Amino acid sequence: MLLNYDQVVKSDNTTLLVFLIDKSSSMKKWEEQVSSEFEDIKGFLNGIEDSSVVLILRADFSGNYEEKDVCKPSDFSSSYITGGKSILYYSICRITESLLFPNEGYIKKAQNSGYNLKTIFFTITDGKDEGSKESGYYLNEAQNAIRYLKQNNVETHLLLFGHRNKEILSLGYEHIHKFKRDSKGLTDMFDTIKQCSKSMIEGIDLFSNV
């Protein structure tokens, strides 16, 4: 369900978790495990939500861009079906607009409603961009979007599943996490998401000494 910020219980500890998820064909082998890992994330966040307000925005890309409504963890979809090519750069720009478009973006609307909205942005991908240029989006546009997110106090995380493309590494994410392309690497990636989410929700700085 789409959440109207005026209908959500106000809290000094409101956190928006943003997931931008690569569902391109190269991830097909991992569909079942990714779905299971997301279901585990859902249960994990439901356990935290008792003492704070947690909201989730999910967007997927696999040849096209699909954005879900903001929801609570209990309504988060763990479905993961792949197909198509990566349009990473285009998707970064689209989700940045959804978050920060003046007076309409989720973060801007929250700010206008008096919320102290902490936001953490996770991008999960296993490969290079393959199709954004067809929509007129290139590396530079995506770099500018990441820069704008950081300027607006969004904590940005790039989670690379077995990929080391230098161009993607230059996007400008505040935190870059690299994982082996195997079952354990996938589990490690979702463990990192849990740890970073928990630290953001509880106001703990995991990276102060990094």
* Length of the chain (residues): 210
Element (H, E) at 135: none
The answer, yes or no, to whether residue 1 has pLDDT greater than 50, is no
Cβ-contact 77, 58 below 8 angstroms: yes
**What are the structural domains, with CATH classification, of the chain?**
10-202 (3.40.50.410)
Element (H, E) at 36: helix 31-48
Cβ-contact 52, 13 below 8 angstroms: yes
pLDDT in tens, 125-180: 998 899 999 989 999 999 999 999 999 999 999 999 997 678 899 999 999 999 99
Q: Give me the pLDDT at residue 50, please.
A: 59
CA distance 87 to 76: 23
Q: Give me the pLDDT at residue 14, please.
A: 83
Across all residues in the chain, what is the average pLDDT? 89
Residues 6+ apart with CB under 8 A from 45: 17, 54, 56, 73, 76, 197
Tokens representing 1 are: 């369900």
Helix (H, G, I), strand (E, B) or coil at 182: coil
Cβ-contact 171, 158 below 8 angstroms: yes
Q: Give me the pLDDT at residue 163, please.
A: 72
> pLDDT band at residue 208, thresholds of 50, 70 and 90?
low
Q: 37-51, 67-81, 103-117: which has the highest mean pLDDT?
A: 67-81
113 vs 85, residue with greater confidence: 85
Residue 46 class from Cβ within 10 Å (0-12 exposed, 13-18 middle, 19+ buried)?
A: middle
